[in-house]
Amino acid sequence: MQLPKENLQESIAHQREALIGLLQEPMQQLADKCSREWGERTRLDELLRDALKNLPYCKHLYALDSHAVQISDNVSHDGLQDGYGRDRSDRPYMGDIARGDALYLSDAYISLRERRPSLTALQIVRDEAGNALGYIGAYFGLRDLPLTRKLYEEPRYWRQIKGDPSIRGTVFHQTRADSEMDRHIDTVMGVVAELMLYQGVFHVMLHFSSSRAVVWVMEDPYRYRLLDIKELIDPDTCLAYPRTPYPSNALIPAEKIRTVLESFRALRLMDEMFYLRSATLNIFNGIVGLTFSCDGSHYIPYDEFLAMDNEFWMGGE
């Protein structure tokens, strides 16, 4: 039985748990060794260099006192780097440290020097009496971590995202101007439906106001194709795309494609002040994307979308 994929936040949490599991034992052992040499810069550098051999994916290690001032050099796989005396108290991984945890793993942040997504693990160092002496810091580049990185599942529920406040504030002072796509909307929808049902287009982004569309094709999914209004109103455009059977694993049934596109048409023309500016449709994740004249955006499973009428949108925005 195939297990369901994780969503984005679950996937992030799983990867963090895996990394903590990899670090707990070696970081605790290192802290125990360093506690006996605390304050001895040269000895700390030596211990950190030895420990780094067992952490090949770690960029560098360092020791901090209880005030987050560095009392060792930055020890990397290439040798010692400058860092002694550096005050790290203002770094993001220091501000959120949980004092009760022996090992704390920061949220990802952009590093100061390399300007890349990074993580820092902080292991508390205690003396024999249990008093906190400071921390061992371990710096990681996200790209270097030995994690599973399984792709998460995109959720299928309605999500609403507010747009530019300046646009929302002027929505009552604007009116829709007929675009070329508006004037030929029936032809455009006919061509788009044909491309999706028979020519392998699995994702389409329709820009009504600027009269263009961006499409992705199953035969060449890594590149998008831009269709201007001349191509969108010319049925011969379909001849340029290979005949492709509608995929059996699409979440949107073939018979619903024209219905969704017709609903786009209705939302575009439903009102002179509140109207659809752009729309997207992806047959594999089954999601409809809508951006209205107020700049608000919605991402909705197609079946929920089809259950709504114009009155819903006029009253809901």
Please write the tens of the pLDDT for every residue from 241-279: 999 999 999 999 999 999 999 999 999 988 777 789 999
- Owner of token pair 């990681």: 140
Contact criterion met (CB below 8 Å) for 211 and 179: yes
What confidence score (pLDDT) does residue 50 get? Answer: 93
Q: What is the largest CA-CA distance in the chain?
A: 82
What confidence score (pLDDT) does residue 2 get? Answer: 43
Residue type, 18: A
Proportion of the chain above pLDDT 70, given as a percent: 83
What confidence score (pLDDT) does residue 1 get? Answer: 38
What confidence score (pLDDT) does residue 39 get? Answer: 87
- CA nearest to 187, candidates 230, 217, 225: 230
Spatial separation of the C-alpha atoms in residues 213 and 210, rounded to whole Å: 9
What confidence score (pLDDT) does residue 150 get? Answer: 58
Contact criterion met (CB below 8 Å) for 225 and 217: yes
Residue ranges, the chain, pLDDT below 50: 1-4, 152, 166-167, 173, 316-317
What confidence score (pLDDT) does residue 51 get? Answer: 92
Spatial separation of the C-alpha atoms in residues 25 and 94, rounded to whole Å: 22
Spatial separation of the C-alpha atoms in residues 317 and 312, rounded to whole Å: 9
**Cα Rg of the chain (Å, integer):** 28
CB crowding 96-124: b at 16 or more within 10 Å, else e:
eeeeeeebbbbeeeebeeeeeebbbbbbb
> Rounded to the nearest 5 degrees, what angle is found at the Cα of 312, between the Cα atoms of 308 and 314?
135
What confidence score (pLDDT) does residue 190 get? Answer: 94
Which CATH number is associated with domain 8-144?
A: 3.30.450.20
Spatial separation of the C-alpha atoms in residues 136 and 61, rounded to whole Å: 7
- CA nearest to 141, candidates 226, 58, 48: 58
Question: What residue segments make up the domains of the chain, in order of their start?
Answer: 8-144, 159-316
What confidence score (pLDDT) does residue 317 get? Answer: 46
Q: Where is 292: in which H helix or E strand?
A: strand 287-292
